Structure 1
Amino acid sequence: MQPMDRRSPDLWYTEYQKPDMRLGLRIKEILVNKQTQYQHILVVETAEYGRLLALDGAIQITERDEFTYHEMITHVAMCAHPTPKRVLVVGGGDGGVVREVIKHDSVERVTLVDIDEAVIETSRAYFPSVSCALDHPKVEIATMDALVYVKEHVDEFNVIIVDSTDPVDFAAGLYEKSFFATAANALKSDGIIVAQTESPFAEPEIVSSTFLALREVFPISFLYWGAVPTYPTGLWTYAIGSKLYDPRETRSSAPLDVRYYTKDLHHSAFILPKFLKDLIGRDAKMQTKEKACHAT
């Protein structure tokens, strides 16, 4: 272990991930520190993970590990569909999901809907390797409430990717059954939806409740997982729902320029640790019991 350069300022970014848990990264430079209409935006240069984007104190991306998240939330759904032509990205103003979606040759149009235009502009300015596809001719951007947008677009998309912030304030509705029902209407008959569902160690209630909400809407639904080092606990989950295709199988090829996702990883990501199976299985049993009680 190399000793810290004592000539450098001892300035740290600290994310309070839970009341009793936090992550700290030493800061080399503060690049953006501002409040928008919707949230606080912070961009810093860290010594360990490069540039970091935080919204309301929560890490969204770092240059060093963003690919682990963006590839897993994107390519599992995209490769489970044989010909994803129209794709909707909800949130994800940094552009990382759009970058990955565009790598699929079948895509004809990808729509990014993010309520905060300042996030998009910040990523363009400070994260060019992440936002590089936002100006692609196949990409259209709508800066508005995603809940409203999805209601207004019916039977349009093959894939919807919900790259939302944590379920608080304006993003809370994106984790509810009502949103998934609206999203189902926006999907075509072969549609697939995927949403990030937090860490099973840090937020087990969000994992289980969000997956249960999605499962009540989509006839085919699974939870899968991957690693994201700078997210709480490093273990992350994703809920995926489908109208037609089993998302555990691959039907189209993965892009060549990936760093994390592989076909083998796609299949293995659905093999859940027992504690995670128990987490979502327990809620399934509770749901069945509640329905039986109401029926009587």
Structure 2
Amino acid sequence: MDAIQKGWFSEINELWPGQCFSLKVKEVLHEERSEFQDISIISTFAHGRALILDGIIQCTEKDEFSYQEMISFIPLCCHANPETCLIVGGGDGGVAREVVKHPAVKKVYQVEIDGRVVELSKKFLPNMACGFDSPKLSLTIGDGFEFMKQHVGLFDVIITDSSDPIGPATSLFQESYFALMKKALKPNGIICSQGGTFWTDIDHVKSTLDHCRKQFSTVAYAITSVPSYPCGQIGFIIASTEDKDELKTPKKVFSDDELELMNLKYYSAETHRAAFEGLPRATSKHLYG
């Protein structure tokens, strides 16, 4: 791995010029070039195992639960009865692991373009890939665009767990993608997409929100803390087909006992609300005008 120098992996990318996040490496567990991307899995001293795609950290064992829980439970709890869910991407299995926990969810469809990510996650990241074992889940290896074109009006919730907006993933941040998701939703549907961090490119976040607003009646931006992501924070684009739907307040509130039973380490009704309210004043003004 060219990114490993003197025992450290450094995430150097044009998306965040002039800065990088580094992890001290115990061992390189696997690396290959799949049909779609470079895949690396390393063991680190501080963050456990890490999945890296095209040189960008996708998840680490230490902090992955924050991202997986929030991208899953925010949209699920924004919906009154999320029986049928679609996951686009998420080849490590972490989002699937969380979505199937929700008691209202009866059926989960997942479409992931790169089957090698799924296979390698099952081998090296079993604590996330266990999501693939649920009887609720139906996994398709293929293109998410084509899958949604063939499944119109089927889903209560669509979650897009994508990589960052570079290369093939760029299309997942455009208006055409939000239009496709809208058609795949049932009435009163909710979507949630990885939305980047305002610390590195607030104009990109704003443009993604604008693309989404052209298709959805109610749109918001939520954040969560993930130390191994750029600037330690990641955002989500949350949207509803319903006009003036209240996304900041969960329709389903779980008790502490229920949260413990589902083994949720980060998400709660309190973190749900805070995810929408924790934006700096200048950022909120820029994104919402």
TM-score, length-scaled by structure 1: 0.90
Report deviation, 1:10: 4.3
CA contact (8 A) 2:95 2:131 kept: no
CA distance in 1, matches of 2:17, 2:179: 33
Question: SS in structure 2 opposite 1:132?
Answer: helix
CA distance in 2, matches of 1:93, 1:246: 30
**Residues 3-14 of structure 1 aligned to structure 2 (within 5 Å):** 10-14=6-10
More displaced 10-residue stretch of structure 1: 53-62 or 267-276: 267-276
Tell me what 2:68 maps to.
70
Q: Could you report, residue by residue, the CA deviation over 1:86-137 in whole angstroms, capped at 9, with x for unpaired residues?
A: 0000111101111010111111111111100000111100111111120211
CA distance in 2, matches of 1:205, 1:36: 32
Report deviation, 1:203: 2.1
* Greater than 2 Å deviation, 4+ residue runs: none
Tell me what 2:55 maps to.
57
Tell me what 2:275 maps to.
269
| Equivalent pairs, count | 274
CA contact (8 A) 1:32 1:44 kept: yes
CA contact (8 A) 1:147 1:174 kept: no
Structure 2 unaligned spans of 5+ = none
Q: 1:174 aligns with which of 165, 172, 178?
A: 172
More displaced 10-residue stretch of structure 1: 143-152 or 33-42: 143-152
CA distance in 2, matches of 1:122, 1:275: 41
CA distance in 1, matches of 2:204, 2:91: 22
Q: Could you report, residue by residue, the CA deviation over 1:215-242 in whole angstroms, capped at 9, with x for unpaired residues?
A: 1111011111111101100121111110
Report deviation, 1:278: 2.2
Structure number with larger C-alpha Rg: 1
Tell me what 1:138 maps to.
136
**Residues 117-156 of structure 1 aligned to structure 2 (within 5 Å):** 117-156=115-154
Identity across matched positions, percent: 37
Tell me what 1:253 maps to.
253
Question: SS in structure 2 opposite 1:278?
Answer: helix
Question: SS in structure 2 opposite 1:201?
Answer: helix
CA distance in 1, matches of 2:80, 2:127: 28
Q: Could you report, residue by residue, the CA deviation over 1:135-167 in whole angstroms, capped at 9, with x for unpaired residues?
A: 211101111111111111111000000100111
Q: 2:36 aligns with which of 35, 38, 47?
A: 38
Tell me what 1:3 maps to.
none
- The one-letter code sitting in structure 2 at the alignment partner of 1:265 is T
Question: SS in structure 2 opposite 1:42?
Answer: strand
TM-score, length-scaled by structure 2: 0.92
CA distance in 1, matches of 2:103, 2:185: 20
Give the root-mean-square deviation of aligned CA atoms: 1.3
Question: SS in structure 2 opposite 1:30?
Answer: strand
CA distance in 1, matches of 2:125, 2:82: 27
CA distance in 1, matches of 2:143, 2:170: 12
Tell me what 2:196 maps to.
198
In the alignment, is residue 189 of structure 1 matched against residue 196 of structure 2?
no
CA distance in 2, matches of 1:270, 1:82: 19
CA distance in 2, matches of 1:174, 1:55: 17
